[in-house]
Amino acid sequence: MSIVQPIAILTHFKKLRDPRVRRTRKHHLLEIITIALCATLCGANSWADVERFGKSKRKWFARFLKMPGGIPSHDTLGRVFARLDTEAFGRCVRSWLTDWHGALTGQDVAIDGKTLRGSFDRASGQSPLHLVSAWATGLRLSLGQVAVEDKSNEITAVPKLLELLELTGAVVTLDAMHCQQATAAAVVERQADYVMTVKANQRSLYRMIQQTFEAYGEQDFKARGLRTQKKTERCHGRVERREYYVAPLPAALAKTNRWAGAKSIAMVYRRRESGLRETDEVHYYLSSLPPKVGRLARAIRGHWGIENTLHWSLDVTFAEDQSRLRRGNGPEIAGALRRLALSILQQDTSCPGSLRGKRLQAGWNNDILAKILTGFSAK
């Protein structure tokens, strides 16, 4: 197979500043990133793995990389990525992804955080890295992430993440932790809509929505303006019934004018049956979307994709929780590479099979690796 040079995919990294002193550079920064990304795609979970992968594929890399210093050692990889500017690196990744997916109009973007449990260092008092990610559920793309600052929390990180993303026309879904007036305002400012889970941490809002649906219940959920949708799914011996109820924003809530752009509220009743066990749950939501039950149901249901697809895959397929990278910005850069590699693999249609299977086949077969890489730059 003739190679469409994978280095062409990394044109968005050309302006990334190299943190090293020029006279000490033995390896080109773009080539280091290329080797690290290819290795991450193919199963490498540490800088030592990246070095081993590079050496085993040296002849293949030599077809499109100059490699004046050969394959960088794991020490070199660790030093370079520890010092690399994470914000600048993130901008490069987002530029590439934006070229791939285009506008996000109509797309659902789930936001949630994940701790890299192996990145702590007791000796230096370093806490484990916590990344807040944006996941386009329909596109299956990790759009970006920001690290939660030490002694801070996700609430302050989400507005920073929103500022980095081009969200015009998208629908941002967030869990109860992020049901904050400032976050709602930040989403609307980005010309996007939001769907927020509401729990008791927002006591007055929660109680107002709860009382509204209790009143609808007294009318047997047949009140004017209320829209409903019911679904039942059967999978692996488990039956799940979901009932969605969507209504316009109550007048009393609208009068407070505290929640930017709010237009609708929703209630979801879930009943799960597994063997002899039955569980019931009720969840409430606030949204800037019009009260259309089908659209809200899709966004609410899709939010769990960030857990089931992104976070689960990072732990099970990419062994993120087992990563012991700790030095400088290395853990955050490695996290960005894993999320980029996952996005590339999720988009691939040339190689059938699971994510794990694709990683293995790409590592074994240079043609498959080239197809996966060039396929992601085809748009």
Last residue of a domain, one of 241, 274, 292: 292
User: Quick one: CA dihedral 39, 44, 46, 48, positive or negative?
Assistant: negative
Is 279 within the bounds of a domain?
A: yes
Q: How many CB atoms lie under 10 A from the CB of residue 119?
A: 24
**347 is a domain residue:** yes
When the pLDDT of each residue in the chain is averaged and rounded to a whole number, the result is 90
Q: What is the pTM of this model?
A: 0.91
Would residue 102 count as lying in a domain? no
Q: In terms of domains, do 262 and 201 share one? A: yes
Residue 116: inside a domain: no
DSSP string, 348-366: --SS-S-HHHHHHHHHH-H
Burial class (CB in 10 A: 0-12, 13-18, 19+), 243: middle
pLDDT at 328: 87
> Which of 292, 315, 347 is at the close of a domain?
292
Average pLDDT for 250-266: 94
Whether 278 and 207 share a structural domain: yes
Average pLDDT over residues 25-52: 95
346 and 270 together in one domain: no
Confidence of residue 8 (pLDDT cuts 50, 70, 90): low
Residue 272 and residue 354 share a domain: no
Query: Same domain for 279 and 341?
Result: no
Q: Which of 241, 264, 292 is the last residue of a domain?
A: 292
The whole-number pLDDT of residue 94 equals 92
pLDDT tens column, 171-229: 999 999 999 999 999 999 999 999 999 999 899 999 999 999 999 999 999 898 999 99
| Distance of alpha carbon 378 from alpha carbon 9, whole angstroms | 9
> In the chain, what's the furthest Cα-to-Cα distance?
77
- Any idea of the CA torsion for 178, 179, 184, 186, to the nearest 10 degrees? -20
- How far is 287 from 197, CA to CA, in rounded Å? 9
CATH number, domain containing residue 212: 2.20.130.10
Asked if residue 19 and residue 89 are part of one domain, the reply reads yes
Residue 3 has pLDDT above 70, yes or no: no
In tens, the pLDDT along 272-291 reads: 887 778 899 999 999 999 99
Q: Which of 6-15, 133-142, 208-217, 260-269 has the lowest mean pLDDT?
A: 6-15
Nearest to 231 by CA among 243, 245, 247, 246: 243
Q: Are residues 16 and 76 in the same domain?
A: yes
> In this predicted structure, which of 29-33, 41-45, 115-119 has the lowest mean pLDDT?
115-119
Q: What percent of the chain has pLDDT over 70?
A: 93
Is the same domain home to 24 and 83?
yes
- The SS3 call for residue 235 is strand
pLDDT at 25 over 60: yes
Mean pLDDT of 158-168: 94
The number of folded domains in the chain is: 2
Summarize pLDDT for 78-118 with one digit per residue, the tens.
Answer: 999 999 999 999 999 999 998 888 899 999 999 999 887 65
Q: Are 71 and 54 in contact (CB under 8 A)?
A: yes
- Domain encompassing residue 59: 6-96+328-376
User: Is the dihedral angle over the CA atoms 156, 93, 73, 26 positive or is it negative?
Assistant: negative
CA atoms 160, 161, 166, 168: torsion sign: negative
Q: Is residue 109 part of a domain?
A: no
Q: How far apart are CA 38 and CA 35, in angstroms?
A: 5
- Tell me how far apart the alpha carbons of residues 79 and 63 are, in angstroms, rounded to a whole number: 26
Q: 132-149, pLDDT tens digit by residue?
A: 999 999 999 999 999 887
pLDDT band at residue 120 using 50, 70 and 90 as cut-offs: low
Within 263-309, where are the H helices? 293-302, 305
- Average the pLDDT over 313-323 and give the result: 89
Name the nearest CA neighbour of 263 among 253, 276, 278: 253
Q: Give residue 2's pLDDT band: very low, low, confident or very high (50, 70, 90).
A: very low
Residue 60 falls inside a structural domain:
yes
In the chain, the percentage of residues whose pLDDT exceeds 90 is 70
| Band of pLDDT at residue 233, cut at 50, 70 and 90 | confident
In a domain, 173, yes or no: no
pLDDT of amino acid 376: 84
Alpha-carbon Rg of the chain, whole angstroms?
23
**Helix ranges restricted to H, the chain:** 29-41, 47-56, 58-61, 74-83, 86-101, 154-164, 181-189, 203-218, 251-256, 293-302, 305, 312-316, 330-347, 355-364, 366-376
On whether both 285 and 361 belong to a single domain, the answer is no
State the pLDDT confidence band at 1, using cuts at 50, 70 and 90. very low
Least confident of 63-67, 125-129, 163-167: 125-129
**Do 271 and 335 fall into the same domain?**
no
What are the C-alpha distances in Å from 66 to residues 8, 15, 294? Answer: 14, 19, 53
In a domain, 92, yes or no: yes
At residue 237, the 3 state secondary structure works out as coil
